[in-house]
A and B are shown apart, each in its own frame.
Chain A
Amino acid sequence: MDQKESVRDITPWDGTLSSSDFFSAACAFSEKWKRFNASVPPWLWVPSRKHHLLSSHKEEGYLSLEGMCLIKSSEEQESCRSQTWKEESSISQEEEAVENATLVQSSCDEVNHYDFHIVYSPSYRVPVLYFRSYHSDGQPLPFGEIEKDLPDHSAKIRSESKWTFITQEEHPYLNRPWYKLHPCGTSEWMKLLFLGDTALNKNGFVIEHYLVSWFSVIGQVVGLKIPLGMLETVSC
């Protein structure tokens, strides 16, 4: 069979994928990630059901990568974080036993923790990257702070491409505001990615590779690198 013909037979792909395809793609993605990217935390599938009344046979959930740490040097710390507390709630010296066995550290590096979730959007039919950041004590970071952590080329990508921008919306499963990369342009550039990649074209599009390709673009905006080994689309 002529390979070119088989590709032509396929109805032009619109860049989207179904919810069950997302699950297969997610499994493949996290598998590959573990293999090629062992030095960073793994992507874990978190099963979740949104509609408790509807019984769904298909696996519903999202991919989660939590606990990425970004260590900020002490010069970068915001002094506005310190609270001026009246002493009414402190403990006087006589009350608590005087003791020296507690190590007192003079200054600590501030650490920004990042959590990333890849969630399927049924209305756009594409994956969406959600993320949030917080200090070690749990205090969430405002977007202004997060922007400082993003790589330089991220701002460039976001200003140039009308498809890539960060918004704050309610996380579909956790019901709290998370930041996300808006999915309105995803199907468009996934389509372009597919058309432009002759390797993908030759074998017909294998849905398992969707997330790897998708992440190779999205990851850049938030500074998550994808190892080259993962991008090999030849059977593996």
Chain B
Amino acid sequence: MSRKEGALLQFAPMQSSVDEGFWHRFSSLKLNKLGIDDSPLPIIGFYAPCSHSQVSNHLTLLAESLPSESSDSSLVPEPSSGNRNKCSVPGILYNTNTVEGFHALDKMKLLKEEAAKIWNDIVTGKAVEDCSMLSRFLLISFADLKKWSFHYWFAFPALMLDPPAALVNLRPASQWLSAAEAESLSTACNEWRNSKSTADVPFFLVTIDPQSRATVRLLKDWDACQSDAHKILFGFYDPCHLPNNPGWPLRNFLALISAKWNLKSVQFLCYRENRGFADMGLSLVGEALITVSEGWKNTMPNAVGWELNKGRKVPRCISLAQSMDPTRLAVSAADLNLKLMRWRALPSLNLSALSSVKCLLLGAGTLGCQVARMLMAWGVRKITLVDNGKVAMSNPLRQSLYTLDDCLNGGSFKATAAVESLKRIFPAVEAEGVVMAIPMPGHPVNSQEQESVLDDCRRLSDLIDAHDSVFLLTDTRESRWLPTLLCANTNKITITAALGFDSFLVMRHGAGPFSHAHGFNAETAISSSADVHKIKDAKGKHRLGCYFCNDVVAPTDSTSNRTLDQQCTVTRPGLAPIASALAVELLVSILHHPEGIFAEGDISNNVIGTSEQPLGILPHQIRGSLAQFSQMTLVGYSSPSCTACCDTVLSEYRNKGMEFILQAINHPTYLEDLTGLTELMKSASAFSLDWDKDDDGGGGGDEDCVEI
């Protein structure tokens, strides 16, 4: 296909391509070496002749375009040589430290400076010696290392011929050359491309003798080409694939040819390849007419070359947060871990339930720290810790979220320190700490403290409302009373873990007696069979018990009048991790059970009865003993006289609200009277039986730990 004489020669613009690796290395360089230094940085770009009939090659920046980080002195990248797919061209990078600085750069001035370098190389003859100088380029950028986004803009300076060159004709090389010439040229080019010394030399001369023999030579051999009656072609690696336009490198080549050798008519070869071999069908031969005035080369020509972004003269932006932001990488690694579990072992794993469940941990001590970590391992992201204590010197050994630093200067608040620790482990966790004491029965409050205690009660109630699952992990029995009541009232998943010296209890509380969270349940008021409602849950099933269901006394002050060693919770260290782990696994099982909080309690070795869930059985209580290295699963049902979860107590709470709570806090016998425990005790002691002296637990002896 040929063009009319005198048509304007239009060049396909050079296109840029920046490999991710370039930005990675640049970020690293900036953070470790350059700092705020914004002096221009020499870089290396790479391009190669087009090798695909439909896709142009680009001027590419790779990690190796930048100086290596390890070289202590030089900030100059190592040029590669002899690589046929990577012709090195010099470039310069201006990186600004602010986005305003980026926009404020004087782009025309920078372009002019680089163009001047090219012009200088042409005039002095340096470009003939090292022709890759003709494709020198400019890059401006702003690297936002907080958001991992990079604003950048390339310029490929091209010296303008004035008036512009005209295109006489342009057609595939195979049509311009004879068959013999084409074959000879292909062979010569393939040799040129396969020789390490010339493979990456992007501009060359082609001479074809009358015997159709083609020779490829370096530009500096120009004089040697003059003597014979040969055809001469000015060849260059053309990254462009378009059939009707030559690529950008030809612009500066023509400027060189005109300035250095004063030619008016130039036959050029746009050298292109296919699958690594010279292709004379894709390669083009054309004739350009240069009509510049005599004095044109005496002054520096104008230059153009800023790269367009989808047709507009604006910079580009690339976001690499996905592959560079460490938090995102941590999140996707964690997700991958869980997904692998689901793919390979547990297809019914409900990852979205785990990532959306909101867990409230009452207590940020030995149990609380471990439970929080285990929850994160299961993909739980929303964790709130409540604790009014400070980290003490002995804590870091057993409470796995704290270190010595948290103990200094009187000790940080546990709730706060725990949250910070969780975030250090996994930045994407949504953790909150609440410094608050839990109001407890048997610890009476005077009138001055009353209001603040009521505030705490309300706050606790709000916290429980705002979460899906509550872990009772405190170190006294009475501190579990109010949370148990509030959870039973709102049917929240409640899990208790309690430690003895060498034994533990992990249990899930049964559902509460009411079907909806708030509001007086009219059914219970007019019910005839009070007993039925005390023990059945909203689904009409026999409710599983809570932590207090087996108590015959109301929770009372267990902390006063204890000796010092009894006041500290002393347990075998292995217990807390075991109990915490079981507590979390229990939650996961509940979340995967179709009936959730209403599920019946399984016991192990139960062959008949409850259907097999993918995660296994869902027990009600797990009691373990380290002395025996044993563990057993138990089921306990709710007691109609339970001080925390029975219908009577909850109705009273619903009726009287905080008044009731305050009464229970100040008068522990109130609860016993209310639930009928007082009566029960009276009738029990009415029997005169000779009990054998028994050592079994309950109220005797060791009060140094929470009674299980």
- Does A10 sit within 8 A of B, measured CB to CB? no
Contacts of A101 in B (CB 8 A): 8-11, 160, 164-165, 251
- Does A56 sit within 8 A of B, measured CB to CB? no
Q: How far in angstroms is the closest Cβ of chain A from B281?
A: 15
Contacts of B111 in A (CB 8 A): 96
Q: How far in angstroms is the closest Cβ of chain B from A41?
A: 8
In the complex with contacts A69-B52, A103-B245, A174-B314 CB distance below 8 A: no
CB distance B52 to A176 under 8 Å? no
Stretch at the interface among B12-20, B363-371, B605-613: B12-20
- Interface contact tally, CB-CB below 8 A: 124
- Does A19 sit within 8 A of B, measured CB to CB? no
Report the contact-size class of chain A (Cβ under 8 Å from the partner): 35 or more
Task: Please give me the residue from chain A that is nearest to B17 by CB atom.
Answer: A138
Q: How far in angstroms is the closest Cβ of chain B from A115?
A: 10
Task: Please give me the residue from chain A that is nearest to B324 by CB atom.
Answer: A176
Q: How far is B7's CA from A100's CA once the two chains are assembled, in angstroms?
A: 11
Max count, chain B CB within 10 A of own CB: residue among A142, A167, A170 = A167
In the complex with contacts A69-B52, A142-B322, A103-B13 CB distance below 8 A: yes
Stretch at the interface among A20-28, A80-88, A120-128: A80-88
In the complex with contacts A103-B11, A140-B322, A140-B323, A97-B302 CB distance below 8 A: yes
Contacts of B17 in A (CB 8 A): 136-138
Q: How far is B316's CA from A184's CA once the two chains are assembled, in angstroms?
A: 40
Interface of B: prevailing SS: mixed
CB distance B306 to A96 under 8 Å? yes
Q: How far is B315's CA from A158's CA once the two chains are assembled, in angstroms?
A: 40
Task: Please give me the residue from chain B that is nearest to A109 by CB atom.
Answer: B54
CB distance B10 to A82 under 8 Å? no
Contact with A along B313-353 (1 / 0, CB 8 A): 11111101011000001001100100110011000000000
Q: How far is B333's CA from A164's CA once the two chains are assembled, in angstroms?
A: 18
Stretch at the interface among B101-109, B197-205, B382-390, B656-664: B101-109
Q: How far is B77's CA from A159's CA once the two chains are assembled, in angstroms?
A: 46
In the complex with contacts A99-B164, A176-B24, A91-B107 CB distance below 8 A: yes
B contact residues, total (Cβ < 8 Å):
60
- Does A102 sit within 8 A of B, measured CB to CB? yes
In the complex with contacts A71-B54, A91-B108, A162-B343, A102-B11 CB distance below 8 A: yes
Interface of A: prevailing SS: loop
Contact with B along A163-197 (1 / 0, CB 8 A): 00101111000111100001010000000000000
The 10 closest A-B pairs by CB, nearest first: A138-B18, A103-B10, A85-B314, A89-B103, A97-B302, A90-B313, A101-B164, A177-B323, A91-B313, A138-B17
> B residues within 8 Å of A by Cβ?
8-13, 15-22, 24, 52, 54-55, 58, 60-61, 102-103, 107-108, 111, 153, 160, 164-165, 242, 245, 251, 275, 302-304, 306, 308-318, 320, 322-323, 329, 332-333, 336, 339-340, 343-344
Other contacts beyond A69-B54, A138-B60: 4, CB < 8 A: A71-B55, A100-B8, A136-B15, A176-B323
Q: List 16 A-B contacts (CB under 8 A).
A: A69-B52, A69-B55, A83-B317, A87-B314, A89-B103, A90-B312, A97-B160, A97-B303, A99-B164, A101-B8, A101-B251, A102-B10, A105-B12, A111-B55, A136-B58, A169-B333
